[in-house]
C-alpha cells in the first residue's frame, strides 16, 4: 500500500492553498525528520513556457509558495527551478520566472531561483534505458528534489503529473534529442521512469486546483478540479490523479511502465488515501487530447493492426498561419528537425513527424492544431 493524501482547495487564495498543502504533507510524518535543517532542496516545478498563472500551464505560484514555506519551516535552503521547453538560457528563465509569478514567490519567501544553466553528465546505474544522461546542474547540486507538478492532459503521454514533471531536469534542447531517440510513448515512459528513479523526489505535490483537459499540456482548456494532492511515491500519486480525472491508470504509459518495474501496481486498491477520499470526489472525466485515441486503441490491439493504427491514424501538427507570429519556437523545439521556416512561416515534413507535439506544446500563440486522420471521425465520432 502507498499513501496518497488529498485536500479540497477551490481557489488560489494563499491561505487556503497553504492550509491544503500543509494538510497533505502532515500525513507524511517522517518527512520533516528526513529534511534535515540546512538541506538544500530543489523544488522542481512545471514551467513549460512563458505563461501567466491563470493559463493553467505552469504550477501555480501559490502552491509553489506553500511548498517552499513548508520546507523552509523545516530549516531547508530552497531553490526553485526547471528547465522549460526551448533553449535553457538565463534570459529565458528570467522572463518565465517573471510571467509565471515565481519571481514574486522568491521575493516573498527569500528562496532562490535557479539561474545556473549548466548541464552535467551523470551515470544512472539503475536505469533500464537511460544509463548516461545530461541533467541540469542544480539537480545534482542539491540534497533532495521535490516535484511540484500541474495536473494536465498530455498529447503524447496522456497525462502529465508527478513523474512526467521530472523530464524538466533534462536541460533545454537536449530534451528534444531525447524525445527523438525515444519516439514511442512506451519507450519515452521507460526513460521517464529512469529519470524519476534517478531524481528520487522525497515527495511530490500536484496542483490540481485548476488543471488542463483536452489538448494539454499547453493548448487545452482550463478545468477546475479543486484539489491538492501529495505522496511520497510519485507513481501512486499519478495513479490517484488518473482515477480522479477518469483515465484508466494503466492506459497512462508511465504508470504502466512503473507497474512493470514493480514500483507501484497502478491499482487503486493499493492506495491508502488520507484526507478527502476518492469516493468523495465527483469530477466528470477530463477530455483527452485529440492525438490520443489511436494510442489508447493501439494498446488493446495486437500485431499488424496496432502497427496500422500507429502509423496511419497518427495525428500530426497543423499550422495555423493566421495565428502564427513567426517566432520559430516550433522549429527549435522539433526533435526530428523537420520544421523549416519558409518566408517566416513554419513548414514540416510530416512524413518524418514522430507526433511528439513538442511544437504544439511550445507554440506561444496556440497556432498549431492537432490534425487527426479522417478515420478518426468515423471510428471515434
Q: How many helices (H) and strands (E) does the chain have?
A: 15, 15
Q: How far is the CB of 164 from ligand SF4 (least distance, A)?
A: 16
Cβ closer to ligand SF4: 56 or 358? Answer: 358
Shortest Å, Cβ 333 to ligand SF4: 6
Compare residues 127 and 324 and give the one whose CB is closer to ligand SF4. Answer: 324
Least separation in angstroms between CB 363 and ligand SF4: 3
Q: Which residues bind ligand SF4 (CB under 6 A)?
A: 317, 319, 324-330, 333-336, 338-339, 346, 348, 353-359, 363, 365, 367-368
Copy the grid coordinates of residue 4.
Answer: 496518497
Query: Which stretches of the chain are assigned E, i.e. beta strand?
Result: 2-8, 40-45, 77-81, 112-113, 119-123, 132-136, 144-154, 158-160, 204-213, 221-231, 271-275, 316-319, 339-342, 345-348, 368-371
Nearer residue to ligand SF4 within complex by CB, 96 or 199: 96
CB of 308 vs ligand SF4, minimal distance in Å? 20
Q: Which residue has the cell 504533507?
A: 25
**Number of C-beta neighbours around residue 378 at 10 A:** 8
Please state, in angstroms and rounded to a whole number, the distance separating the CA atoms of residues 254 and 194.
10
Q: How far is the CB of 264 from ligand SF4 (least distance, A)?
A: 29
Annotate 321-374 with DSSP letters as a single string.
TTT-----HHHHH-TT--EEEETTEEEE-GGG-----HHHHH-TT--EEEEPPH
In whole angstroms, what is the distance from residue 221 CA to residue 144 CA? 33
User: With DSSP H G I counted as helix, E B as strand and the rest as coil, what are the percentages for the chain, rounded to 5?
Assistant: 40, 25, 40
Burial category of 192 from C-beta neighbours within 10 Å (exposed 0-12, middle 13-18, buried 19 and up)? buried
Q: Which is nearer to ligand SF4, 19 or 316 (CB)?
A: 316
Instruction: Pick between residue 31 and residue 353 the one whose CB is nearest to ligand SF4.
Output: 353
Instruction: Tell me whether residue 44 or residue 332 sits nearer to ligand SF4 (CB atom).
Output: 332
Q: How far is the CB of 84 from ligand SF4 (least distance, A)?
A: 14
Question: How far is it, in rounded angstroms, from Cα 357 to Cα 156?
Answer: 7
Report the residue number, 49 or 60, with the smaller CB distance to ligand SF4: 49
Minimum Å gap between C-beta 50 and ligand SF4 is 12
Amino acid at each position: 500500500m502507498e499513501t496518497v493524501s488529498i485536500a479540497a482547495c477551490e481557489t488560489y487564495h494563499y491561505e487556503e492553498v497553504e492550509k491544503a498543502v500543509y494538510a497533505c504533507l502532515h500525513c507524511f510524518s517522517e518527512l520533516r525528520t528526513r529534511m534535515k535543517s540546512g538541506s538544500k532542496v530543489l523544488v522542481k516545478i512545471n514551467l513549460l513556457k512563458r505563461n501567466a498563472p491563470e493559463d493553467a500551464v505552469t504550477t501555480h505560484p501559490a502552491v509553489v509558495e506553500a511548498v517552499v514555506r513548508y520546507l523552509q519551516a523545516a530549516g531547508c535552503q530552497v531553490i526553485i527551478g526547471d528547465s522549460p521547453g526551448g533553449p535553457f538560457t538565463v534570459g529565458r528563465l528570467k522572463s518565465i520566472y517573471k510571467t509565471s509569478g515565481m519571481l514574486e514567490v522568491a521575493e516573498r519567501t527569500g528562496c532562490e531561483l535557479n539561474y545556473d544553466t549548466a548541464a552535467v553528465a551523470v551515470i544512472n546505474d539503475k536505469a533500464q534505458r537511460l544509463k548516461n544522461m545530461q541533467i541540469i546542474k542544480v539537480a545534482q547540486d542539491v540534497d533532495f528534489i521535490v516535484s511540484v507538478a500541474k495536473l494536465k492532459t498530455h498529447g503524447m503521454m496522456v497525462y502529465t503529473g508527478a513523474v512526467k514533471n521530472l523530464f524538466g531536469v533534462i536541460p533545454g534542447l537536449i530534451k528534444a534529442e531525447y524525445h527523438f531517440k525515444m519516439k514511442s510513448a512506451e519507450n519515452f515512459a521507460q526513460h521517464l521512469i529512469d529519470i524519476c528513479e534517478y531524481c528520487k523526489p522525497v515527495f511530490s505535490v500536484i496542483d490540481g486546483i485548476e488543471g488542463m483537459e483536452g489538448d494539454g499540456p499547453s493548448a487545452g482548456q482550463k478545468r477546475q478540479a479543486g484539489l491538492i494532492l501529495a505522496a511520497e511515491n510519485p507513481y501512486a500519486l499519478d495513479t490517484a490523479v488518473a482515477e480522479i480525472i477518469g483515465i484508466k491508470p494503466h492506459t497512462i504509459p508511465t504508470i504502466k511502465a512503473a507497474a512493470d518495474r514493480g514500483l507501484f501496481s497502478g491499482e487503486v486498491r493499493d492506495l491508502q488515501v488520507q484526507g478527502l477520499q476518492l469516493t468523495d470526489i465527483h469530477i466528470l472525466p477530463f477530455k483527452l487530447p485529440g492525438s490520443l485515441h489511436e494510442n489508447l486503441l493501439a494498446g488493446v490491439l495486437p500485431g499488424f493492426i496496432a502497427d496500422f493504427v500507429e502509423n496511419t491514424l497518427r495525428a500530426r501538427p497543423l499550422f495555423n498561419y493566421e495565428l502564427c507570429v513567426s517566432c520559430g519556437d516550433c522549429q527549435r523545439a522539433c526533435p526530428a528537425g523537420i520544421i523549416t521556416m519558409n518566408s517566416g512561416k513554419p513548414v514540416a515534413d510530416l512524413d518524418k513527424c514522430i507526433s511528439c507535439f513538442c511544437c504544439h506544446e511550445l507554440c506561444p500563440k496556440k497556432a498549431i492544431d492537432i490534425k487527426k486522420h479522417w478515420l478518426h471521425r468515423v471510428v471515434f465520432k
